[in-house]
Structures are given as structure tokens and as C-alpha cells.
Structure 1
Amino acid sequence: MKQSWLWLRGLCFVVVLASMIGFAAYAGKVTGYDLPATDNTVDAIIVLTGDAGRLSAGGELLQDGRASHLMISGVHPSVTTADIRRQTGLGDDAFSCCVTLGREATDTVGNAREAAAYVQANGYDRLIIVTSDYHLPRSLLEFRSHMPGVDLIPYPVRTQAPWQDVGALRLWLQEYAKYTTVQLRHSLTSQTEDA
């Protein structure tokens, strides 16, 4: 009985240690994303709805001429076009000609599917993906899965670091758990396809 208790404690220690190392690696990945160079132009900008700052970042990229088109994925059906236009900071003309609203996606997998259909319909092969910094690792995994061969350039919208705020820590830990799950799913899927 005592030996099995020691074995269980050892196993718990290894799991906790592995989780801490994994989270540190994830945090390093998140904080390591740089903004793409200002002369880096693409076919389209894809913004994933969610945290504050994402829509305005996408609008600024479009205004700066980084792409000729902007797709906003995951727009809730109750949100009006006028609301989105205001949040992007774009004028009516720019919004009317160059912005596509995707209203089908309800999660990150849905964002990837919605964006993949948009990319395929338009023949695009180079994109800037705009989302919160902590959300980028998982988003890029899902997007690469649905758009193999498309060049994806991450654009991190900075959020509060987890070591500065307990709420941010909880959010990053939740996202780390989702990211790990998606990594595992993709790993198992690729092994199944290889077999």
C-alpha cells in the first residue's frame, strides 16, 4: 500500500512538472510572436472575432495596404454590419469594397473552415491571421490543418501577460489546455493517416 502511494505521488509530480514545462514553452511561443514587417503584403487578412483590439488591428492592416481584402470570421448573427464597421475604423467605401463578414463560425475550428472556403473561392495563398496572442498557436494549428500549402503570417494582438493578472493567467491556462488537446488530436490524426 505504501509503495503504491509513493508511485502515485511520483506520477503526480511528473504530470505537474510536465504541465509546467509545457505551459512555459507555450508562453514562450506566445510572447515570441513578432508583428510582421510593414512591407509584408498578402492576399488577404483574416480576423478572428473575440477579444478587443482584433477588429481595429485588421482595419489598420487593410488601411495600410497590407492586403486588398479583409475577412472577419465568426461574426455573431446579432451583430450588425454597422457595429463591425465602427470597430474596424474603416470608412463606408473601404468597408463595402474590401470586407467580407463570415457569420458561420462559432469556434476556432469553424473559423478555420470558414476561412478555408473563402481562401479557396478566391484563390488566395498568403494570409495574415489576426487574433489575440494567446490564441495564435491553436489558431495556426487549425488553419494549417484546413489550408495546407497556404502561407500563414501570424499577427498577435497583445493581451495582458499571465504573470501580471490572475484573470489573464486563468485565460492562458485554459487556452494552453485547448492547444495541447488540439496538438494531440492532430498528432493522432496524422498517425492514423500514415498507418
Structure 2
Amino acid sequence: MFRRTAAFVVLVWFFGFVWFAVTLPGPMAGALKSDAIIVLTGSKGRIEHALEVLEKGAAPRLFVSGVDPEVRPVEFAAEFKVPARTMACCVDLGFEAYDTRSNGVETARWVERHKVRTIRLVTADWHMRRAELELLRELPEGVEVRRDAVRSRPSFSALFLEYHKLLWRLASNLWEQWSP
């Protein structure tokens, strides 16, 4: 009985990992508009993509969560070639988040302050599922999250680690729901 149960658990884990690695979320199709774009700092291409989407008019505002506290807005603007006018009207930088979980908290505060109802979440494809999960935990009820994943080429080890972080987060959520 124990061997069958262990074999079943290993098979579920294995096929779950294969599903996770093979079906990474992709970029948002179409020109669907949102109230705001939320981008989580991290791997290359995320901020660039979010700024491109902002420039195309997909949303009136952009919030960058997890900016290093030592980065000044003028440095951010220079690095990503953001015009001063765009920085002033449309780009907000968040300096409090240091991981995906705190990205959710920081973003939720910003969303509440700006009364946002629909967000376009920009992050790496391998990171999207857990990032969305963390956001949904913290966001006010009724806020719609739309995935806009930046394609990447994650290593096996990055996928392996992220899969386990996602499993841990899902298990934690279940525990919180079932515990008294």
C-alpha cells in the first residue's frame, strides 16, 4: 500500500512539473485595455515590455513593484529611456517589495489607493502563476488580473525551483483555509 501511494505521489509530482514547464503562460493576445499595468521587477525584458504596453495605450498607468530603494526615479527613467512627462503622469515606482509575496502586498496597496479594477500583470512566463496567486491573495475583491507574460528561456533549475515555490504556496493556502 505504501509503495503504491508513494508511486502515485511521485507520478502526480512528475506530471505536474511537466505540465508546469511545458505550458508556461504567454503574452496577452489582442489589445485588451486595463486600468493599470503592474510589472514585477526581476528578469530582463519585464520593465521594457510594460513600458512598451503603456506607450501603446493599453492602460493609463504603470506601477513597477520591487524597485531597489537606492534607485532614484531619474535613474530609472534614464536607464529605461522614459520621458520625464511619462514618468510624471503615468509611472509609479514601488520600493517596498523584496520578493513575490511582498510584491502582492505592495501592489494591493497601490491598487486600492488608485481604485483600479483591472490590471495587466507583467512578469516572466515562469514566474506568472505564482505572481498571480500572490496578487490574488492580497488584492481587494473584484479586481481582475490579466496575464501578460514575458517569454523567456528559463533553465531547468529555475523551473524546478519555481515549481516547488508554487507548490509550497498552494499548500500554504490550503493549510490556511482548513486550519481553525
TM-score by length of 1: 0.84
| Equivalent position of 1:132 in the other structure | 124
> In 2, are the aligned partners of 1:63 and 1:90 still within 8 Å (CA)?
no
| Equivalent position of 1:188 in the other structure | 175
| Equivalent position of 2:49 in the other structure | 57
> In 1, are the aligned partners of 2:26 and 2:150 still within 8 Å (CA)?
no
> In 2, are the aligned partners of 1:133 and 1:156 still within 8 Å (CA)?
yes
> In 2, are the aligned partners of 1:55 and 1:87 still within 8 Å (CA)?
no
- Largest Rg, 1 or 2: 1
**1:73 CA drift (Å):** 0.2
| Equivalent position of 1:25 in the other structure | 19
Kindly indicate which of the two structures has a greater share of residues assigned to helix.
1
CA distance, structure 2, for counterparts of residue 175 and residue 44 of structure 1: 26
| Equivalent position of 1:71 in the other structure | 63
Q: Residue deviations 1:131-170, cap 9 Å, x none?
A: 0000000011111111132100011111115xxxxxx100
> In 2, are the aligned partners of 1:56 and 1:87 still within 8 Å (CA)?
no
1:172 aligns with 2:164: no
TM-score by length of 2: 0.90
Structure 1 residues 29, 87: closer, same or farther in 2, change over 3 A?
Answer: farther
**1:28 CA drift (Å):** 3.8
Structure 1 residues 39, 62: closer, same or farther in 2, change over 3 A?
Answer: same
| Equivalent position of 1:153 in the other structure | 146
> Which of 25, 34, 41 in structure 2 is aligned with 1:42?
34
| AA aligned opposite 2:150 | V
Q: What is the aligned length?
A: 179
CA distance, structure 2, for counterparts of residue 86 and residue 170 of structure 1: 33
**1:14 CA drift (Å):** 3.9
| Equivalent position of 1:108 in the other structure | 100
| Equivalent position of 1:165 in the other structure | none
**1:80 CA drift (Å):** 3.0
> In 1, are the aligned partners of 2:35 and 2:60 still within 8 Å (CA)?
yes
User: Where do 4+ consecutive residues of structure 1 move more than 3 Å?
Assistant: 10-16, 86-89
**1:35 CA drift (Å):** 2.3
Q: CA RMSD in A?
A: 1.9
Secondary structure of the corresponding residue to residue 68 of structure 1: coil
Secondary structure of the corresponding residue to residue 134 of structure 1: coil
**1:11 CA drift (Å):** 5.8
Q: Residue deviations 1:92-134, cap 9 Å, x none?
A: 2111211100000011110000010001011111000000000
What percent identity do the matched residue pairs reach?
30
